[in-house]
Amino acid sequence: MLLVETDPRQVSWLVPSREEAVGYVRQRTVAEIRAWGIELADPLEVELVVTELVTNAVSHAGGQVVGVGIQVAEEGAVVIRVSDSHPGFFGRRVWREPGEHGRGLVMLRQLVRCWWWEPLAEGKVVCALVEVSGC
């Protein structure tokens, strides 16, 4: 795992595009936010958002690495960014029982203030603005 510190309240790193990286990123994200002195009312919410974004990047993008960045965005919120090499976005799917796909983005919409994606020169970045306390 490659860690790049760019600012005291912003950090990013690259992880291999493998399932094993999801747990590492989940734990590291919560640890970084806490190291900034931010109290998480419910760390599980941040963990779920990170898990969904990184899992999607690992599962669908097919690249060698996934980029992850977190930063304090404003009072009471952090931005989580996950980038991958796939140029497009898979879109919002409609979740239907008993399907296996589509639940993640439905869940994500319930946990974040907002989320969006942006194209990159090579790939895309998916971002989520997550409410926290104590920024």
- pLDDT value of residue 110: 80
Higher pLDDT, 12 or 6: 12
**pLDDT tier at 28 (50, 70, 90 boundaries)?**
very high
- pLDDT value of residue 86: 84
**What share of the chain in percent tops pLDDT 70?**
82
Q: For residues 121 and 44, give the distance between their C-alpha atoms in angstroms, rounded to a whole number.
A: 33
Q: What is the pLDDT of residues 77-112, one digit of tens each?
A: 999 999 998 877 655 555 555 555 566 767 778 888
Q: What is the chain's mean pLDDT, rounded?
A: 83
Collapse the DSSP code of 19 into the 3-class scheme (helix H, G, I; strand E, B; otherwise coil) and give the result: coil
Least confident of 35-44, 51-60, 97-106: 97-106
**What share of the chain in percent tops pLDDT 90?**
45
B/e letters for 60-75, b = 16+ CB within 10 Å, e = fewer, are: ebebebbbbbbbbbee
Predicted model pTM: 0.84
